Amino acid sequence: MSGPALRRTLPRDKIRRILALIRKESYQVVRDPSSIAIGIVMPLMLVLLFGYGLNLDVKNVPVAVVMEDSSPDARELAAGFQLSPYFDAFLVSSMPIAEQLLIARRVDGIVRIRSDFSRELAAGSADVQVVVHGTDANTARIVQGYAQGAVAQWAARRGAEGRAVAAPPLAVQSRLWFNDANDSRYFLVPGLVVLVMTLIGALLTALVVAREWERGTFEALFVTPVQADEILLGKTIPYFIMGLIGLVLCIAGAKILFHVPLRGSIAVLIGVSILYLLVVLGIGLVLSSLTKSQFVASQLAMLVTFLPAMMLSGFLFDLRSMPTAVRMITYVLPARYYVALLQTLFLAGDIWSVIIPNAAVLAAMAGGLMLLSGVATRKQLA
Amino acid sequence: MIPKNGNRSSERIMRNVMPDALVRVFALIRKELLAMFKDRRSRVSLFLPPVLQCLLFGYAATYDLNNVPYAVLDQDRSAASRAFLAKLDGSGVFVRVANLYAAGQITDYIDNQRALLIVQFGQDFERQLFAGLPAQVQVIADGRNSNTAGVALAYVGAVAEAFGGDWLSGHGQSGPPITVTMRAWYNPALETRWNMIPSLIGTLTMLQTLMLTAMSVAREREQGTFDQLLVTPFRPSEIMIGKAIPSMFVGITQATLVLLVAQLWFRIPFEGSFVTLYAGLVLFLLAAVGIGLLVSSFVATMQQAMLFSFVLLMPFTLLSGLTTPIGNMPPVLQYFTYGNPLRYAIDIAHRVYLEGATLAQIAPDLWPLAIMAALTLPVASWMFRHRLT
């Protein structure tokens, strides 16, 4: 009954068939609590976690100040640490006590003022020893910087009072463009948009399509008059809409809850997000058509989309500092281009020289993957 | 996998001591392992990803910078500013991409991400240095990733410090009166990798172990074989053990692979004892498998198993201290982390691997894991029979 002559019917029938498939898929989405969990609960949870939970700004670091010298100079330096907003300093009398505290992780660092501190200072050069707990290397380095700053400030204050310390000859004055307050939320919250879109796009699509293959319901669809491209559209449009809902939830959360500025235009943001969504949907479709197994498809989707979006996209870690081989891999990953777009659109504005090349790469990837998934599905029809 | 002959003979011995229960559990474990490894693709997908991820993240997941592009706006053009720039270029961290002529060019370089930093010297930089006035170096950083920018600024600060010291001693004045000597315990070069790779021992194994467990039960439910299993003489606790042990076996193998990569490829020195580390890992995997089984008792399909375990794994990973320190989180969320097995696993891995902690020292991490396992495993096995649907 479904000969090729019959299939080449009016475009109206084509639309009707696609709509029917969308309806069937939408029922499946709405009736399965796990789709709602990943489409609505997950974005909300991530917005809250990224906004409140993840924080790279180090403040109130607990440190032990070892006072082996009790001269006024030493006490003054220790007070510098106690007054600093970056430290939560408490005084201990000996190094072994401080070391015990460091081993127990009660403090993250030790500032040691040796017994001959004020004598050496009078002689022209004194030394302060700083020990940090190196397990968390990033925090440790920031603590080192703060400690250096606290000592330098104390020296500058003494120098200004005309006492026996020369002020450092130069000062670095720094300004952070696009993020004056140095708030890590400003780059973490836009970054989570990429995670949400990747999860909904790639992981969910890979699972639902692989399930149809696994259960044999795809073959059942093939014997109906529905054509391959119609199946693909009917499958992707509901998840595409879910991805857009996730996007809106993230943008609203970022703006309303965390006041992250959106300096670019919202139209461009939505436009490039649609491109990225098409790319990850395409990856999900291709993976599921190739593997036809829910377990393998979901593992691969995690491996090639989600984890790279987290680690290799430039959202947390600087791409330029990665070894060349790893950097080459990042050029193949769509997340890299999307993160560049998101960071620019949220924090810098509509800078077309950044937007156009990145969006062009995403568009090319989307086109290529859609073609590929069409081929992968059609082959199975024969 | 279990060697065939060894299994047979041990079965015969067991039959005399504790006849049925153990024999049944062994049979179930064997069946489970066969189901897991019969397919080449799932064999590969269990053991290749941890190794690949460990290698990739070992190189990629670092906050250390080594290739920071910067541009210079030198309005002084003096020997002093050139000396400063030479120090910056020689640091191995910064790469100069351009010499700017006008302040108007700065926007272009920052906006288009051609430079992460702009280093600017005013006209009187050298004059002020000679006059003993505090000379100023202005640095503008691209704050789109403020963490990267902050680390880069700290490097500039260190270069300025070194330059200042050299300047003082080079121009007849005494050296800087106060020096700060830095030492970092357990990670002398402060490499992020030393922090990251041991964390991955727990993170990568949990990702797959929890999902594998949840999905193996869900697959049986979806295909209807779980009901068949329930009508056999197996007790629910035996089914639970039969499902848990193969997953733990996979988890231990994955952890060992990551450990091998850490030591043989990245050469991160192992300070502690393997017995302590594996004791912690076994407890951690018991908790992870327990959570996986608990998820599986709530779900009807593999899709639900996968997505629900993912919804759990996300906060577990984010609130574990893997990417951002737990101490920075607000107190409410810090309380949440006490229910997160990964938090303890990462702490165990760090303390045993980098600090050489003993079993007694990691006890505060061990008992929460034991409690989690003791709660989740029995509840999961009870749920096998008492599900509502």
pLDDT value for B375: 94
Q: For residue A377, which of A222, A265, A171, A215 has the smallest C-alpha distance?
A: A222
Question: Average model confidence (pLDDT) for chain B?
Answer: 84
* Domains, chain A, with CATH or none: 9-54+183-381 (no CATH), 61-160 (3.40.1710.10)
Cα of first residue to Cα of last residue in chain A, in angstroms, is: 17
Is B131 part of the contact surface with chain A (CB cutoff 8 Å)?
Answer: no
**Predicted pLDDT of residue B263:** 92
Q: Does residue A133 sit at the B interface (CB-CB below 8 Å)? A: yes
Chosen for mutation from B145, B195, B337 (greatest number of chain A CBs closer than 10 Å) is: B145
At A311 the pLDDT is: 82
Whole-structure pTM value: 0.80
Nearest to B174 among A102, A124, A129 (CB): A124
Report pLDDT digits (tens) over B11-34. Answer: 555 556 566 778 888 888 888 888
C-beta atoms surrounding B274 within 10 Å: 12
Please determine, for residue B2, whether its predicted confidence score (pLDDT) is greater than 60: no
Q: Is-contact B126 B79, C-beta < 8 A?
A: yes
Most confident region among A198-207, B34-43, B171-180 by mean pLDDT: A198-207
- The C-alpha atoms of residue B373 and residue B247 are separated, in whole angstroms, by 14
| Domains along chain B with CATH numbers | 39-60+191-386 (no CATH), 68-170 (3.40.1710.10)
Q: Which residues of A touch B67 (CB under 8 A)?
A: 320-321
Cα B64 to Cα A307, A315, B154, B203, B355: the distances in Å are 20, 15, 11, 21, 21
**Contact state of A170 with B175 under an 8 Å Cβ cutoff:** no
Contact call for A144 and B182, based on CB within 8 A: yes
Confidence of residue B254 (pLDDT cuts 50, 70, 90): very high
CB pairs under 8 A between A and B: 338
Contact with chain B for residue A324, Cβ under 8 A: no
Q: Give yes or no for a contact between A115 and A128, defined as CB atoms under 8 angstroms apart.
A: no
Q: To probe the interface with B, which of A40, A99, A302 has the most B CB atoms within 10 Å?
A: A302
- Give per-residue pLDDT as tens, A254-276: 888 888 888 889 999 999 999 99
A174 and B138: CB-CB below 8 Å? yes
CB of B137 within 8 A of CB of A172?
Answer: yes
Cβ within 8 Å, pair A127-B179: yes
Task: For residues B28 and A379, give the distance between their C-alpha atoms in angstroms, rounded to a whole number.
Answer: 39
B-contacting residues in A 210-269 (Cβ below 8 Å): 211
Q: Is B57 in CB contact (< 8 Å) with chain A?
A: yes
pLDDT at B230 exceeding the cut of 90? no
- pLDDT for res B82: 92
Question: Shortest Cα distance from B373 to chain A (angstroms)?
Answer: 25
Phi, psi of B90 (to 5 degrees): -85, 0
Q: Is the pLDDT at B281 greater than 50, yes or no?
A: yes
* Nearest-angstrom CA–CA distance, A182 and B376: 42
- Report which of B107, B300, B313, B301 is spatially closest to residue B210, judged by C-alpha positions: B313
Contact state of A130 with B181 under an 8 Å Cβ cutoff: yes
Token pair for A332: 């193949």
Higher pLDDT, B277 or B44: B277
Residue range B203-209: mean pLDDT, rounded: 88
Q: Which residue has the higher pLDDT, A54 or B137?
A: B137
Sequence letter at residue B84: F
DSSP readout, B15-73? HHHSHHHHHHHHHHHHHHHHHHHSSHHHHHHHHHHHHHHHHHHHHHS----S-EEEEEE
User: Is A145's Cβ below 8 Å from some Cβ in B?
Assistant: yes
Q: How much is the ipTM here? A: 0.77
pLDDT of A314: 83
B61 contact residues in A (CB cutoff 8 A): 311, 316-317
According to the model, what pLDDT value does residue A222 have?
76
On whether the CB atoms of residues B128 and B134 are closer than 8 A, the answer is yes
- Is the per-residue pLDDT at B219 higher than 80? yes
Residue A111 to residue A130: CA distance in whole angstroms: 5
Above 70 in pLDDT, residue B266?
Answer: yes
Tokens at residue A66, please? 């070892």
Helix H or strand E encompassing A335: helix A334-343
* pLDDT digits (tens), chain A, 382 positions: 444 445 556 778 888 888 888 888 888 888 888 888 877 888 888 888 887 777 776 778 888 999 888 888 888 888 888 888 888 888 898 899 998 888 877 888 898 988 888 888 877 677 888 888 877 777 787 788 788 878 877 877 776 666 555 556 666 666 667 666 667 777 777 788 898 888 888 888 888 888 888 888 877 777 777 777 788 888 888 889 988 988 898 888 888 888 888 888 999 999 999 999 999 999 998 888 888 888 788 888 888 888 888 888 888 888 887 888 888 888 999 999 999 899 888 888 888 888 999 999 999 999 999 888 888 776 555 4
pLDDT of B183 higher than 80: no
Instruction: Check residue B9 and give its pLDDT.
Output: 60
pLDDT over 90 for what percent of chain B? 27
| B 183-202: CB under 8 A from A | 183-188, 190-192, 194-195
Per-residue pLDDT at B290 exceeds 60: yes
| Interchain CB contact of B144 with A (< 8 Å) | yes
CA distances from A104 to A98, B263, B338, B361 (A): 10, 25, 18, 9
Q: Are A124 and B177 in contact (CB < 8 Å)? A: yes
CA separation for the pair B258, B252 (Å, rounded): 10
- Give the gap in angstroms from C-alpha A129 to the nearest C-alpha of chain B: 5
Res A358: pLDDT: 93
How far is the C-alpha of B60 from the C-alpha of A288, rounded, in Å?
28
* B chain contacts of residue A42, beta-carbon cutoff 8 Å: 310-311, 314
Interface test with A, best of B324, B334, B358 (most A CBs within 10 A): B324
**Inter-chain touch B149–A176, beta carbons under 8 Å:** yes
Q: Is residue A114 within 8 Å of A69, Cβ to Cβ?
A: yes
B348 has pLDDT over 70 = yes
Contacts of B208 in chain A (CB under 8 A): 299
Contact A137 B325 (CB under 8 A): no
Interchain contact A102–B (C-beta under 8 A)? yes
Mean pLDDT is highest, among A172-181, B344-353, B377-386, for: B344-353
Per-residue confidence (pLDDT) for residue A357, from 0 to 100: 92
Q: Are B226 and B272 in contact (CB under 8 A)?
A: no
**CB distance B96 to A137 below 8 Å:** no
The minimal CB distance from A135 to the residues B143, B187, B310 is found for B187
Interface test with B, best of A318, A331, A346, A353 (most B CBs within 10 A): A318
